[in-house]
Structure 1
Amino acid sequence: EMTSKAGQKCTAIRRVLVPQDSVEPVIEALKAKLDKVVVGDPQDDGVTMGALASIDQRDEVLKSIRGLIKSATVVFGDPDSVDSRPGAFMAPVLLKAGDKSAPEPHEIEAFGPVSTVIGYDSTADLLDLVARGKGSLVASLVTKDSAIAREIVLGTAPYHGRILVLNSEDAKESTGHGSPLPVLVHGGPGRAGGGEELGGIRGVLHHMQRTAIQGTPDVLTAIGNKWVTGAKQTTGDVHPFRKNLGELRLGDTIVGGPRQVTRADIDHFAEFTGDTFYAHTDPEAAAANPLFGGIVAHGYLVVSLAAGLFVDPAPGPVLANFGVDSLRFLTPVKAEDSLTVTLTAKLITPRQSADYGEVRWDAVVVNQDGDPVATYDVLTLVAKPEAAS
């Protein structure tokens, strides 16, 4: 991170903050690495670092180093020795901070292969030193202690756009300190620019206008191409599961039930699945539960029974159920309660590269009193007309 792109990149490491008793070992390790850096034409074999962007840039870096040495000592490299070859070449420079509270290491950025090692005495001291930087694109925190990681991340997050927590468990697969990813924020507060690069879907959404639409459920369904609760529901002689993707319409609905739940159903489900939680098996304990007041049916028994009320069993356009989203259990179901399920086509999404598409169904299960027992979305794969035929 010091020598990549000759240190002339926005995420290059400028300050290396280490525990006070590790300052010298870290410096020696860095010096050993830096001693192997070969400066020159990147096209030549063996060269590991090229030139800076321009002579003016090199002069600016040397000027920054002169500012840094007001409160730091050069421990590797010679900033006064400039390569005489044509081009903006310079060797890496490593400094050791003397007075860690001095402003120079925290406020001067030498935009080149230059870093300063700064020792800290405690976590509180570290957080104070980090804040003195007044904003950074990225920080790498090297620790295997999760409690320490939490404390430092929470304390440094306000000053960084991104934080990499690095240890022996993730080092081999880590993308590295300076590697922005499209799914992550890349940008930073304060001196880091006060913004962020618009990577991934965040960048697309940033350029899209948001408009609030008001209207009836039917109007909102038509505009948004997604069925909205309260919009028209269409029932008919043809089961929705018998319709292919071209025939199915938003609002196509099947109502199944009622189906009475018995104590035998609850007992069998508990024994068959092994889910013998006391609310389903122990009358006395279940009665003492303030939420239930007695034996109640398993939530997944309710979902299973509901499926039995709306599924069409014969082979047809519905190829598979591939998931359930947003499942919520609401009113508890007791023995002798009756269940009715309403399943409505909510969202139809054709897949361009497949002979089928995705259909999201709105499922609402109610009891004999009309109280909602469970709500969820059922996700299915449904064949297109040509595939169904």
Structure 2
Amino acid sequence: MTTLPHLLRPASYVYGTWHTAPDGPTVLDAAYGRPLAIVSSEGVDFARATDHARRVGASALRRLTFHARARLLKALGLYLLERKEAYYALSTLTGATKRDSWVDIEGGIGTLLGYASMARRDLPDERFWPDGKVERLGKEGTFVARHLLVPREGVAVQINAYNFPVWGMLEKLAPAFIAGMPSLVKPAPQTAYLTERVVQDIIASGLLPEGTLQLVSGEAGDLLDHLSEQDTVAFTGSAATARRLRVHPNLVARSVPFNAEADSLNASVLGLSVRPGDPEFALFVREVAREMTGKAGQKCTAIRRAMVPRGRVQEVTEALRRELSKVTVGDPARDDVRMGALVSLEQRERVQETLERLRSETEVVVGGDRELLGGDRERGAFLDPTVLYCDSPLTATGPHELEAFGPVVTLLPYDSLDEAAHLTRLGRGSLVGSVVSHDRAEIAELVFGMASSHGRILVLNRADAAENTGHGSPLPGLNHGGPGRAGGGSELGGLSAVRHYMNRVAVQADPGTLAMLTREYLPGAEVHEDVIHPFRKTFDEIRVGDSLLTHRRTVTEADIVNFAGLTGDHFYAHVDEIGAREGIFGKRVAHGYFLISAAAGMFVSPAPGPVLANYGLENLRFVEPVGIGDTIRTRLTCKRRIRKELRSGETRPTGVVEWHVDISNQREQLVATYDILTLVERARDGFDPPAPPTGER
């Protein structure tokens, strides 16, 4: 039994100060029903809070590059990991076991670290994000366009559910912070004391600029009335609440982006081909039981409907009964307890009311009270795992409309794969579905039958059993959201979540101006040539647009024959005179990879110097054939620079320089184009990034 601290009073952190309300509603601990915390936002000035975020927080973030923001997030993640035990102690009071808390606490911190890594790896070290390729708008190439992503100049309001008080905050904070938008977090009052504890540490760390994170502990008051066109709202919670907030008059009037991730009636389908002795049968049963009991079933991604071949219903029911009998229920602080309590008595009452409504079309096949290992059966919010069965799922409405947000699942029989997919779609949009089968044909039929109504689909079988992360586990790199009832929004999904907090603008200009704005060379822009070979310059000395036009080289038959002998590439277009004459080129042509090799020979500076290694080759295109007697020439131009941080154990500072390479023939026709990456030594004291383009704040 966890010893309760004194009555907690989680404060709000707004406009740079901690604000504690004098009084408010009392929150009880989940397992024993004892008074735990007073949670209220009374006295918070929401107009002042949103103004503080825009004026102070947004301004500070926009002065940082993506990489600088990522470094702060990484440092914050490591800082929180050192303090995680304090979070675990509070988490048990929400009804969560140690395993449940791991997903919430370390899963949330891991999301911070994941976004820090993605941003440093895949985003430029800039304050803006060039998006997509350059679009050529004029015949002569003097008028071009490119999309840029820039931070919205507002505040990201994040309204979170009670079930994941740490992960729910951090998974929204991470992409917003990387994008350059400050966050105003409003956790659910039932578990706000845990969120507040983490925010206390975040503020104490001093790692995040002031105004980039604010916390409202309690109700949202008139917060939404003070949002403007540059702000965003991200909501996680019930579908009913999402519908109500989405049409808030101010959000509608100002077209404030509203992203909803709502509870949904997620389904898992056991394939027709699966037999009781198959690994997939056991995997299905374990996954359904785990999703029922993890967080006591209080997960927006939990399995609510289990589709089972009609002839397997009895076998699945018995297997679930055996599996669930192993689940011990009680005080989540105990090591021998596998399932804790629901978050509150009110939540238990709602689940029980929904169960009663479901029972008009279903029957209980697994249920009944069981012995508690600690906790209070009356004052605690315990509800035992319950399995329902609906014999007529095609005509019933309750299983597809009513969600018991607790340890409850409904078995639904089906007779064909088409019917199984149809049953999943009756949920009118889900966050996640799963298919458990080893038969590739039925997997394909089910996946594509379910795909239009799901945000994520897990295929579970013996091949991925050891490494799969589970039906109900959202991952930073994968989409978390879904259509219809699931909210119609999207979170996570790698860097796509960062885009939610940015404005995409198409900039049309001449190549030189666009290159200046993006600090990235593009064909048609001015180049800079001098007597110093680009490969003799350190990373600090190289500038975007530095260029070298090489000497010429005439391609001979000996070149082609020797390259074929060296590589073993005797493709007819290169070595067969008759075959080549009848081919699409009408003559023998040089190997494309010979052209790349010859170009390297023309532009390299062979002596030791700042260029340490070739880092890779990208965007290769062969445009025109090069025949015997054609003369080629190469232009090498610095396209962009990427400063690399020193890793542990490294002593030699470096950066990556991306070079654009164009190979042309004697008629000045482009024959090949590509980009190469080189690892280049930089000064030990590094360099300051160039000043932002004119007009950037």
Aligning the two structures, in what range does the TM-score lie when normalised by the shorter sequence? over 0.9
CA contact (8 A) 2:617 2:675 kept: yes
Residue in structure 2 matching 1:279, options 565, 573, 577: 573
Residue in structure 2 matching 1:30, options 311, 320, 328: 320
Q: 5 Å matches for 1:197-208?
A: 197-198=491-492, 200-208=494-502
- 2:354 aligned with 1:64, yes or no? yes
Counterpart Cα distance in 2 of 1:145 and 1:278: 42
SS at match of 1:249: coil
Aligned match of 2:680: 382
CA contact (8 A) 1:79 1:93 kept: no
Counterpart Cα distance in 1 of 2:444 and 2:628: 47
Counterpart Cα distance in 2 of 1:199 and 1:335: 49
Residue 214 of structure 1, CA deviation: 3.0
Distance 1:187-1:79 versus aligned 2 partners, 3 A rule? farther
Deviations 1:298-353 (A, max 9, x none): 11011001111101100011111111110001111111111111111111222233
CA contact (8 A) 1:65 1:79 kept: no
- 2:437 aligned with 1:143, yes or no? yes
Higher mean alpha-carbon deviation, 298-307 vs 342-351, is at 342-351
Higher mean alpha-carbon deviation, 195-204 vs 251-260, is at 195-204
Higher mean alpha-carbon deviation, 187-196 vs 132-141, is at 187-196
Which structure has more helix as a fraction of its residues? 2
Residue 368 of structure 1, CA deviation: 1.4
Deviations 1:266-293 (A, max 9, x none): 1111121111122222222222222x22
SS at match of 1:213: strand
- 2:297 aligned with 1:7, yes or no? yes
Aligned match of 1:373: 671
Residue 220 of structure 1, CA deviation: 1.9
Distance 1:162-1:256 versus aligned 2 partners, 3 A rule? same
Counterpart Cα distance in 1 of 2:577 and 2:441: 43
Higher mean alpha-carbon deviation, 340-349 vs 209-218, is at 209-218
Residue type of the alignment partner of 2:526: K
Counterpart Cα distance in 2 of 1:238 and 1:81: 81
Counterpart Cα distance in 2 of 1:378 and 1:46: 57
Aligned match of 1:218: 512
Counterpart Cα distance in 2 of 1:315 and 1:94: 71
Higher mean alpha-carbon deviation, 226-235 vs 206-215, is at 206-215
CA contact (8 A) 1:234 1:251 kept: yes
Aligned match of 1:120: 414
Residue in structure 1 matching 2:468, options 142, 151, 174: 174
SS at match of 1:14: strand
Residue type of the alignment partner of 1:95: L
CA contact (8 A) 2:572 2:580 kept: yes
Residue 70 of structure 1, CA deviation: 2.0
Aligned length: 387
Residue in structure 2 matching 1:332, options 617, 625, 631: 625
Counterpart Cα distance in 1 of 2:335 and 2:502: 48
Residue 137 of structure 1, CA deviation: 0.9
CA contact (8 A) 1:356 1:387 kept: no
Deviations 1:44-89 (A, max 9, x none): 3421111112222222212222222222221110389998442111
Deviations 1:361-385 (A, max 9, x none): 1100011112211000011011114
Q: 5 Å matches for 1:82-101?
A: 84-101=377-394
- 2:346 aligned with 1:346, yes or no? no
- 2:637 aligned with 1:323, yes or no? no
Distance 1:147-1:258 versus aligned 2 partners, 3 A rule? farther
Residue type of the alignment partner of 2:442: I
Counterpart Cα distance in 2 of 1:108 and 1:79: 23
Residue type of the alignment partner of 1:94: V
- 2:341 aligned with 1:44, yes or no? no
Residue type of the alignment partner of 1:68: L
SS at match of 1:61: helix
Higher mean alpha-carbon deviation, 207-216 vs 155-164, is at 207-216
Counterpart Cα distance in 1 of 2:369 and 2:506: 59
Higher relative contact order (CA 8 A, sep 6+): 2
SS at match of 2:490: strand
CA contact (8 A) 2:599 2:663 kept: yes
Residue 117 of structure 1, CA deviation: 1.1
CA contact (8 A) 2:632 2:665 kept: yes
Residue type of the alignment partner of 1:362: H
SS at match of 1:212: strand
Residue 146 of structure 1, CA deviation: 3.0
Counterpart Cα distance in 1 of 2:567 and 2:633: 23
SS at match of 1:210: strand
Higher mean alpha-carbon deviation, 76-85 vs 139-148, is at 76-85
Residue 97 of structure 1, CA deviation: 1.5
Unaligned runs of 5+ residues in structure 1 are: none
Counterpart Cα distance in 1 of 2:600 and 2:333: 66
- 2:310 aligned with 1:20, yes or no? yes
Aligned match of 1:299: 592
Deviations 1:177-233 (A, max 9, x none): 111111111111111122122464233222122333333322222221111211111
Q: In terms of Rg, which structure is larger?
A: 1
- 2:654 aligned with 1:364, yes or no? no
Counterpart Cα distance in 2 of 1:45 and 1:325: 52
Give TM-score, length-normalised by structure 1. Answer: 0.94
CA contact (8 A) 2:490 2:497 kept: no
Counterpart Cα distance in 2 of 1:35 and 1:177: 21
Higher mean alpha-carbon deviation, 179-188 vs 219-228, is at 219-228
- 2:479 aligned with 1:189, yes or no? no
Residue 22 of structure 1, CA deviation: 2.2
Counterpart Cα distance in 2 of 1:255 and 1:189: 53
Counterpart Cα distance in 1 of 2:578 and 2:536: 46
Residue type of the alignment partner of 2:543: R
CA contact (8 A) 2:345 2:379 kept: no
Residue type of the alignment partner of 2:665: N
Distance 1:287-1:28 versus aligned 2 partners, 3 A rule? farther
Aligned match of 1:253: 547
Distance 1:281-1:204 versus aligned 2 partners, 3 A rule? same
Counterpart Cα distance in 2 of 1:19 and 1:283: 63
Counterpart Cα distance in 1 of 2:684 and 2:637: 24
Distance 1:294-1:144 versus aligned 2 partners, 3 A rule? farther
Deviations 1:121-148 (A, max 9, x none): 1121112111111111111111223333
Give TM-score, length-normalised by structure 2. Answer: 0.53
